């Protein structure tokens, strides 16, 4: 299977000299194209740092990150920006949006930088995405006028607007109630069905149970892996149980 | 604890603290300088006028003088303390050679006098009454400043040799605005020179009580005593002496007001952003029951520290710079006796600045009351309403580049935030444009028309001589046959009695002749055309209380004749008290006459002047440009310097404030910037966004500043100009510099400052500002 991201013995440390601490410690990871993967770990285990490193948002101290056939660790900032804008999508725990733009403007923003002339078709695409995730009527709303769940859906639309090869989600349901969280996970499943790779960072067993492969992190290393089948809407309880058992086993 | 808090805060915001302190120091320095200068000016002026015993009332008179009648008037008038008549021997500039320089180009009336006996003394540079010996010449101080001569030089006056023994301060004629300058020679030398020029008399009075001056003036006019020449009073002497330095003080005060305003803007902005940063903490402090005054104190203490250090710095600077600015006052008027008080007043000025800053900080801190505890703890930031510009949407934008769009959109939605920067930019462009327009205006040819001088090239004065009428005709005859002269007019000035409403009479100098040949600018109405029309200078119109269309009665050949006021104009010539009419009169004595002419080839003016000078030795012939240069030259030059200084100061202010603003903005926008970067916007994208913000604000600022400059600025400049006697005033704008060059310089300044201020944006780490 073709790999979309390879992290090869990456190390990332914070702090100076004696206080230096490796948050990622010679960690290696491979994600296949079209895969739906979750990374789990306790707070401080380095999972968000891993996501920032894999997406080129943060430099690594050693090792390398390859995206497709390109070495991210050898790229300049502008090239990294270009890749993030055209090939990747991001969904954060707090859907960070620009306060002075309305919902649809926030969604089309990443695409407008390069394709201003096609504003009409980009906006149409955004409307279609919004409709699909159930916020079609919120187009002209300010970001302060909608609920957290609605805002997170808008965040997903923004991540999808460029037809990315991979979507990174950093605790995408962390700030939502369980009903909203479930709906958001349904959307991620759908996106993955359509062929987009999805990599989620989470500490929620229910979220991890929706993916097909779960990696567990501790002290900057991947310590274990759990393979699940593609989720088909059944056996959710069993999947959750498997994930939870593994977590207990690893003491996470 | 306070020291620790202040120390940490200052270390964290080095740049912002420094800029605020610089502004406080500048404001303190300027206010202190203004106070020191004011005290010194008034003190030095008082000392000069007291030591030299300046006359309270001076009547210049050319022609015969009836000593006995004047003496008996002085003795009978109970207000008079002392009375004297001084001779002023007028000698043409071409006959005066000082060292290697001749005064041939001087437009001043240069005259010679002996030292007075009772009052109106001429003083040396130490403030002592000069005792002049034979063969010695004392030269007016202004020729020292202009480097015309130095002590020890040989001087030749109409062939007679002198040695320049020193320079003199003349409380009457010191000012460049005064048209005459007095040289001092010994009695014996004076007697020898007497026949070399024309004698003018200075009829001088000291009164027992200066407040009786008005009463005395009326009495003098009513007694129909010698009055063939201008009248000057003590107040006018004082004003003329104080004017140029007074203007400098006014400018310093104006600039310090601006700097204080900018300091306030700076403080307001930093304080509000600091409060924004500390929103959560403030909420917590309020929640746990700290009083608002306690919280306020924490913030206030920092500003007490900044303002105190800034003020001390400013005071030091003002002590350092005062010497340079006091130079002129010291040179023209000498030391002030109260100069030790000056420092005290400087300190008082600085304390005023200090307290107003602290009061202002205290006022800004009132915002604490508005902070809702619940909102602060729950959201950590104030929930500012983004308002307006709803129609300005990215999904409808096809015009602007996305980065530029984002910049403009941000300005439109956070208007309140950008209002601060806008205010500074408006002020900056205002102070760039106003002095520049003022300079263009007063240096333009047409401006002289506002000053009562028409647009002619050559001016021939026939005065202080006998048979003025014949001599005028003689010159006119020559001119009418001169093909090089394309246009000319002769104007004769005579004195008539004007009937006042209360029945008294006052002397009115009326210039008769064709006023349409070289029109001047009228602030209202038009030039007199009919025999029964008269135009008044604005000072005369004020004093006589006349408006356009009013009637005024003159006594001509013993008969009362009514005139209607056809127009009012500004005039700086002849003390500003003139009138113009066209009627013919053969009765009254001619005081003086002038012939003004325009040449077909203006480059020939100097040749023409020499030609006429050689033919008509009795006339004073001058180049108008030179007349204007010598009268206003120093003022025009000061305004020019001021306009360059204003450009420099504004650009510095613009750069500093933009830098500061951008730094604060970047700090405030950390999360948004991180989000942008995560979405794939590059460093240069973000820089372009911030540049578009500042350029957009700048464009609005320049437009508003220019509009203000051309309305309010014109009014302000008009007020300054009117102090010279001109009161109808329109800016002459140099569009290239005012509308292209200056805005361009501001754009460059703002862009450089924006790049500098936003350099921190590149260092913002996505991972540190986006919480997973």
Looking at residue B574, its pLDDT comes to 63
**Is residue B74, in this structure, part of any structural domain at all?**
no
Among B500, B633, B495, B461, smallest CA distance to B577 is for B495
CA angle B134, B138, B141 (to 5 degrees): 175
- For residues B336 and B35, give the distance between their C-alpha atoms in angstroms, rounded to a whole number: 14
Asked if the C-beta of B616 comes within 8 angstroms of chain A's C-beta atoms, the answer is no
Of A49, A101, A117, the CB nearest to B394: A101
Side-chain half-sphere CA neighbours of B374 within 13 A: 0
Of A52, A94, A105, the CB nearest to B393: A105
**Is residue B586, in this structure, part of any structural domain at all?**
yes
**Contact (CB<8Å) B770/A117:** no
Residue A58 has pLDDT above 60, yes or no: yes
Where in the sequence is the domain holding B417, given as residue range(s)? 398-446+631-772
- Angle between helix B234-277 and helix B339-364 axes, rounded to 10 deg: 30
**Is residue B30, in this structure, part of any structural domain at all?**
yes
- For residues B491 and B469, give the distance between their C-alpha atoms in angstroms, rounded to a whole number: 11
Does residue B587 sit in the same domain as residue B659? Answer: no
Give the residue on A whose Cα is nearest the Cα of B409: A100
Q: How far away is chain B from the Cα of A163, in angstroms, using its nearest Cα?
A: 13
Q: How far away is chain B from the Cα of A164, in angstroms, using its nearest Cα?
A: 12
- A-chain CB neighbours of B771 within 8 Å are 92-94
Looking at residue B724, its pLDDT comes to 53
**Contact (CB<8Å) B766/A57:** yes
Give the residue on A whose Cα is nearest the Cα of B388: A100
**Contact (CB<8Å) A81/B682:** yes
- For residues B333 and B141, give the distance between their C-alpha atoms in angstroms, rounded to a whole number: 10
**Contact (CB<8Å) A171/B765:** no
**Contact (CB<8Å) A85/B680:** yes
Residue B2 has pLDDT above 90, yes or no: no
| Alpha helices, DSSP H, located in B150-233 | 187-193, 213-222
**Is residue B534, in this structure, part of any structural domain at all?**
yes
Does residue B474 sit in the same domain as residue B610? Answer: yes
Structure tokens at A106: 């926030």
**Contact (CB<8Å) B409/A101:** yes
Residue B379 has pLDDT above 80, yes or no: no
Say how many CB pairs under 8 Å bridge A and B.
113
**Is residue B744, in this structure, part of any structural domain at all?**
yes
Q: Please, which pLDDT band fits residue B772 given cuts at 50, 70 and 90?
A: very low
- Angle between helix A103-112 and helix A148-160 axes, rounded to 10 deg: 20
Distance of CA B419 to the CA centre of its chain: 31
Task: Using alpha carbons, list the distances in angstroms from residue B136 to B151, B309, B669.
Answer: 10, 54, 77
Q: Give φ, ψ of B244 to 5 degrees.
A: -70, -40
Q: Mind listing the pLDDT tens digit for each residue in B342-352?
A: 889 999 999 99
| Alpha helices, DSSP H, located in chain A | 47-54, 77-87, 103-112, 119-132, 148-160, 178-193, 205-208, 236-250
**Contact (CB<8Å) A48/B772:** yes
- For residues B690 and B754, give the distance between their C-alpha atoms in angstroms, rounded to a whole number: 7
Kind plus residue range of the DSSP H or E element containing B268: helix B234-277
Looking at residue A213, its pLDDT comes to 95
Looking at residue B316, its pLDDT comes to 94
Does residue B376 sit in the same domain as residue B408? Answer: no
The percentage of residues in chain B with a pLDDT greater than 70, rounded to a whole number, is 92
Rg (CA), chain A: 18
**Contact (CB<8Å) A100/B772:** no
Looking at residue B728, its pLDDT comes to 61
**Is residue B228, in this structure, part of any structural domain at all?**
no
**Contact (CB<8Å) A116/B398:** yes
DSSP-based three-state secondary structure for B723 = coil
**Contact (CB<8Å) B386/A58:** no
Among B54, B50, B74, B194, smallest CA distance to B127 is for B50
Looking at residue B388, its pLDDT comes to 61
Q: Mind listing the pLDDT tens digit for each residue in A79-99?
A: 999 999 999 999 988 878 888
Q: Mind listing the pLDDT tens digit for each residue in B35-55?
A: 998 899 889 988 999 999 999
> At a CB cut-off of 8 Å and minimum separation 6, what does A211 contact?
A36, A37, A38, A198, A200, A228, A231
Give the residue on A whose Cα is nearest the Cα of B681: A81
Q: Please, which pLDDT band fits residue B739 given cuts at 50, 70 and 90?
A: confident
- For chain A, what's the residue count? 252
Does residue B177 sit in the same domain as residue B280? Answer: no
Give the residue on A whose Cα is nearest the Cα of B402: A113
DSSP-based three-state secondary structure for B146 = coil
**Is residue B69, in this structure, part of any structural domain at all?**
no
Tell which of A53, A116, A122 to mutate to test the B interface (max B CBs under 10 Å).
A116
The percentage of residues in chain B with a pLDDT greater than 90, rounded to a whole number, is 27
DSSP-based three-state secondary structure for B634 = helix
Residue B635 has pLDDT above 80, yes or no: no
Q: Mind listing the pLDDT tens digit for each residue in B405-426?
A: 999 999 998 888 888 889 889 9
- For residues A39 and A18, give the distance between their C-alpha atoms in angstroms, rounded to a whole number: 29
**Is residue B229, in this structure, part of any structural domain at all?**
no
- For residues B451 and B436, give the distance between their C-alpha atoms in angstroms, rounded to a whole number: 19
- Burial class from Cβ neighbours inside 10 Å (0-12, 13-18, 19+) for residue B300 reads middle
Structure tokens at B487: 């246009």
Does residue B492 sit in the same domain as residue B431? Answer: no
Among B481, B98, A125, smallest CA distance to A139 is for A125
Q: Which is more confident, B394 or A207?
A: A207
**Contact (CB<8Å) A105/B678:** no
Structure tokens at A73: 């660790």
Residue B296 has pLDDT above 90, yes or no: no
Q: Mind listing the pLDDT tens digit for each residue in B319-343?
A: 998 888 888 788 888 887 777 888 8
Does residue B471 sit in the same domain as residue B611? Answer: yes
- For residues B475 and B490, give the distance between their C-alpha atoms in angstroms, rounded to a whole number: 10
- For residues B216 and B207, give the distance between their C-alpha atoms in angstroms, rounded to a whole number: 9
First CA to last CA distance, chain B = 36
Buried-state track B417-441, b at ≥16 Cβ within 10 A, e below 16: bbebbbbbbbbbbbbbbbbbbbbbb
Q: Give φ, ψ of A239 to 5 degrees.
A: -65, -45
Tell me the mean pLDDT in the region B139-165.
90
Give the residue on B whose Cα is nearest the Cα of A92: B772
Under 8 Å between Cβ of B507 and B493: no
- A-chain CB neighbours of B390 within 8 Å are 102, 140
Residue B278 has pLDDT above 80, yes or no: no
> At a CB cut-off of 8 Å and minimum separation 6, what does B336 contact?
B39, B40, B41, B42, B43, B44, B46, B47, B329, B342
Residue B669 has pLDDT above 70, yes or no: yes
Tell me the mean pLDDT in the region B652-668.
85
Tell me the mean pLDDT in the region B497-505.
78
The residue from B617, B642, B672 where one domain ends is B617
Q: Give φ, ψ of B312 to 5 degrees.
A: -60, -45
Structure tokens at A99: 């306060």
Tell me the sheet residues that pair with B598. B487
Looking at residue A29, its pLDDT comes to 94
Q: Please, which pLDDT band fits residue B559 given cuts at 50, 70 and 90?
A: confident
Q: Which is more confident, B732 or B561?
A: B561
Side-chain half-sphere CA neighbours of B343 within 13 A: 8
Does residue B58 sit in the same domain as residue B147? Answer: no
**Contact (CB<8Å) B678/A90:** yes
- For residues A251 and B617, give the distance between their C-alpha atoms in angstroms, rounded to a whole number: 117
Q: Which is more confident, A227 or B517?
A: A227
Under 8 Å between Cβ of B264 and B363: no
Asked if the C-beta of B683 comes within 8 angstroms of chain A's C-beta atoms, the answer is yes
Q: Mind listing the pLDDT tens digit for each residue in B464-481?
A: 667 888 888 889 999 989
Asked if the C-beta of B723 comes within 8 angstroms of chain A's C-beta atoms, the answer is no
Tell which of A46, A81, A157, A200 to mutate to test the B interface (max B CBs under 10 Å).
A81
- Angle between helix B415-443 and helix B683-708 axes, rounded to 10 deg: 50
First CA to last CA distance, chain A = 30
- B-chain CB neighbours of A142 within 8 Å are 386
CA angle B114, B119, B122 (to 5 degrees): 50
Residue B383 has pLDDT above 60, yes or no: no
The residue from B163, B184, B207 where one domain ends is B207
Of A84, A93, A119, the CB nearest to B678: A84
Does residue B612 sit in the same domain as residue B496? Answer: yes
Does residue B661 sit in the same domain as residue B556? Answer: no
B317-331, B603-617, B622-636 — which is least confidently predicted?
A: B622-636
- A-chain CB neighbours of B386 within 8 Å are 99-100, 142, 144
Tell me the sheet residues that pair with B157. B96, B160
Does residue B613 sit in the same domain as residue B636? Answer: no
Among B201, B203, B200, smallest CA distance to B70 is for B203
Looking at residue A35, its pLDDT comes to 95
Does residue B737 sit in the same domain as residue B637? Answer: yes
Q: Mind listing the pLDDT tens digit for each residue in B562-600?
A: 999 999 887 766 656 789 999 888 776 787 888 999 998
ipTM of the complex: 0.86
**Contact (CB<8Å) A49/B767:** yes
At which residue do the structure tokens 């991001």 appear? A90
Looking at residue B69, its pLDDT comes to 92
Task: Using alpha carbons, list the distances in angstroms from residue B332 to A160, B45, B128, B341.
Answer: 80, 9, 14, 20
Q: Percent helix, strand and coil across chain A, each rounded to 5?
A: 40, 25, 30
A117-126, B57-66, B239-248, B692-701 — which is least confidently predicted?
A: B239-248
> At a CB cut-off of 8 Å and minimum separation 6, what does B538 contact?
B523, B568, B569, B570, B571, B576, B725, B727
Phi-psi region of B466 (alpha: psi -120 to 50; beta: other; left: phi over 0): beta
Tell me the mean pLDDT in the region B641-661.
86
Looking at residue B374, its pLDDT comes to 67
Q: Please, which pLDDT band fits residue B538 given cuts at 50, 70 and 90?
A: confident
- Structural domains in chain A, sorted by start: 3-250 (3.40.50.300)
Tell me the sheet residues that pair with B497. B507, B555
Q: How far away is chain A from the Cα of B639, in angstroms, using its nearest Cα?
A: 46
Total tally of structural domains belonging to chain B: 4
Distance of CA B422 to the CA centre of its chain: 27
Looking at residue B375, its pLDDT comes to 64
Give the residue on A whose Cα is nearest the Cα of B400: A116
Does residue B652 sit in the same domain as residue B547? Answer: no
- For residues B609 and B210, give the distance between their C-alpha atoms in angstroms, rounded to a whole number: 45
Arithmetic mean of pLDDT over chain B: 84
- For residues A225 and A243, give the distance between their C-alpha atoms in angstroms, rounded to a whole number: 10
């Amino acid at each position: 299977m073709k790999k979309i991201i390879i992290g090869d013995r990456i190390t990332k440390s914070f702090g100076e000299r004696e206080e230096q601490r490796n948050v990622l410690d010679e960690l290696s990871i491979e994600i296949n194209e079209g895969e739906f993967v979750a990374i789990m770990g306790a707070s401080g285990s380095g999972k968000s740092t891993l996501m920032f490193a894999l997406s080129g948002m943060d430099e690594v101290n050693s090792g390398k990150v390859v995206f497709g056939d390109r070495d991210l660790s050898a790229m300049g900032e502008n090239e990294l920006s270009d890749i993030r804008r055209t090939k990747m999508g991001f969904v954060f725990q707090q859907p960070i949006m620009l306060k002075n733009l309305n919902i649809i403007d926030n969604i089309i923003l990443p695409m407008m930088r390069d394709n201003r002339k096609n504003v009409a078709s980009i906006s149409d695409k955004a409307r279609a995405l919004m409709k699909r995730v159930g916020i079609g009527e919120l187009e002209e709303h300010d970001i302060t006028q909608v609920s957290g769940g609605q805002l997170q859906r808008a965040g997903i639309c923004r991540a999808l607007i460029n037809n990315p090869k991979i979507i990174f989600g950093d605790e995408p349901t962390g700030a939502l109630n369980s009903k909203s969280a479930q709906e958001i996970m349904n959307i991620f499943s759908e996106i993955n069905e359509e062929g987009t790779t999805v990599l989620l960072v989470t500490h929620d067993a229910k979220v991890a149970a929706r993916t097909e492969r779960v990696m567990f992190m501790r002290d900057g290393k991947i310590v274990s892996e759990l393979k699940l089948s593609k989720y088909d809407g059944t056996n959710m309880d069993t999947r959750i149980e498997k994930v939870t058992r593994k977590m207990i086993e690893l003491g996470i | 604890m306070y020291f620790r808090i202040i120390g940490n805060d200052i270390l964290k915001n080095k740049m912002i603290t420094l800029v605020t302190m610089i502004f406080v120091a500048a404001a303190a320095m300027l206010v202190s300088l203004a106070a020191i200068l004011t005290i010194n000016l008034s003190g030095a002026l008082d000392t000069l006028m007291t030591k030299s015993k300046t006359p309270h009332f001076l009547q210049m008179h050319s022609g015969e003088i009836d000593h006995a009648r004047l003496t008996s008037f002085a003795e009978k008038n109970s207000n008079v303390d002392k009375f004297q008549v001084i001779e002023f021997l007028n000698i043409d500039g071409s006959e005066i050679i000082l060292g290697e320089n001749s005064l041939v180009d001087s437009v001043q009336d240069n005259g010679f006098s002996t030292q007075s006996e009772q009052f109106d003394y001429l003083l040396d540079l130490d403030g002592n009454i000069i005792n002049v010996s034979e063969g010695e010449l004392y030269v007016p101080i202004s020729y020292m400043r202009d480097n015309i001569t130095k002590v020890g030089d040989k001087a030749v006056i109409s062939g007679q040799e002198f040695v320049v023994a020193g320079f003199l301060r003349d409380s009457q004629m010191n000012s460049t605005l005064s048209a005459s300058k007095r040289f001092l020679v010994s009695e014996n030398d004076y007697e020898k020179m007497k026949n070399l020029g024309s004698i003018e008399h200075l009829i001088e009075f000291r009164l027992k009580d200066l407040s009786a001056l008005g009463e005395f003036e009326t009495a003098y006019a009513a007694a129909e005593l010698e009055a063939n020449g201008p009248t000057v009073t003590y107040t006018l002497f004082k004003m003329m002496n104080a004017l140029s330095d007074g203007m400098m003080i006014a400018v310093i005060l104006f600039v310090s007001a601006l700097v204080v305003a900018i300091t306030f803007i700076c403080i307001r902005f930093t304080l509000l952003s600091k409060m924004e940063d500390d929103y959560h903490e403030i909420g917590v402090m309020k929640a746990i029951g700290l009083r608002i005054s306690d919280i306020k104190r924490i913030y206030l203490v920092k500003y007490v520290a900044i303002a105190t250090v800034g003020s001390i710095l400013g005071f030091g600077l003002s002590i350092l710079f005062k010497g340079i600015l006091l130079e002129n006052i010291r040179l023209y008027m000498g030391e002030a006796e109260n100069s030790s008080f000056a420092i005290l007043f400087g300190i008082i000025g600085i304390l005023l600045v200090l307290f107003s800053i602290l009061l202002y900080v205290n006022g800004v801190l009132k915002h604490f009351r508005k902070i809702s505890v619940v909102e602060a703890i729950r959201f950590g930031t104030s929930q500012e309403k983004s308002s307006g510009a709803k129609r300005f949407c990215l999904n409808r934008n096809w015009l602007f580049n996305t980065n530029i769009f984002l910049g403009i959109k941000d300005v439109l939605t956070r208007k309140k935030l950008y209002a601060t920067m806008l205010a500074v930019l408006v002020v900056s462009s205002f102070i760039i444009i106003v002095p520049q327009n003022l300079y263009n205006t007063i240096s333009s040819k047409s401006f002289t028309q506002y000053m009562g001088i028409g647009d002619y090239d050559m001016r021939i004065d026939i005065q202080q001589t006998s048979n003025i009428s014949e001599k005028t005709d003689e010159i006119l005859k020559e001119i009418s046959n001169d093909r090089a002269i394309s246009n000319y007019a002769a104007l004769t000035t005579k004195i008539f009695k004007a009937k006042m409403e209360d029945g008294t009479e006052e002397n009115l100098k009326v210039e008769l002749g064709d006023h349409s040949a070289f029109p001047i600018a009228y602030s209202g109405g038009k030039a007199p055309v009919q025999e029964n029309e008269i135009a008044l200078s604005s000072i005369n119109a004020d004093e006589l209380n006349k408006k356009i269309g009013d009637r005024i009665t003159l006594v001509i050949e013993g008969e009362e004749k009514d005139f209607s006021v056809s127009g009012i104009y500004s005039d700086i010539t002849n003390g500003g008290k003139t009138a113009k009419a066209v009627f013919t009169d053969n009765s009254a004595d001619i005081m003086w006459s002038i012939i003004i002419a325009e040449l077909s080839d203006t480059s020939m003016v100097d040749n023409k002047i020499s030609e006429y000078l050689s033919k008509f030795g009795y006339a004073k012939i001058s180049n108008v440009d030179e007349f204007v240069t010598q009268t206003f030259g120093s003022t025009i030059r000061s305004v020019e310097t001021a306009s360059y200084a204003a450009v420099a100061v504004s650009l510095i202010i613009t750069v500093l404030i933009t830098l500061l603003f951008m730094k604060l903005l970047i700090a405030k926008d950390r999360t948004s910037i991180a989000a942008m970067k995560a979405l794939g916007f590059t460093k240069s994208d973000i820089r372009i966004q911030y540049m578009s913000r500042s350029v957009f604000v700048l464009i609005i600022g320049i437009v508003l500043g220019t509009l203000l400059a051309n309305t309010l600025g014109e009014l302000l400049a008009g007020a300054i100009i009117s102090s010279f006697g001109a009161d109808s005033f329109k800016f002459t704008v140099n569009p290239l510099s005012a509308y292209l060059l200056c805005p361009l310089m501001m754009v460059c300044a703002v862009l450089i400052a924006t790049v500098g201020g936003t350099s921190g944006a590149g260092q913002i780490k996505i991972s540190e500002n986006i919480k997973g």
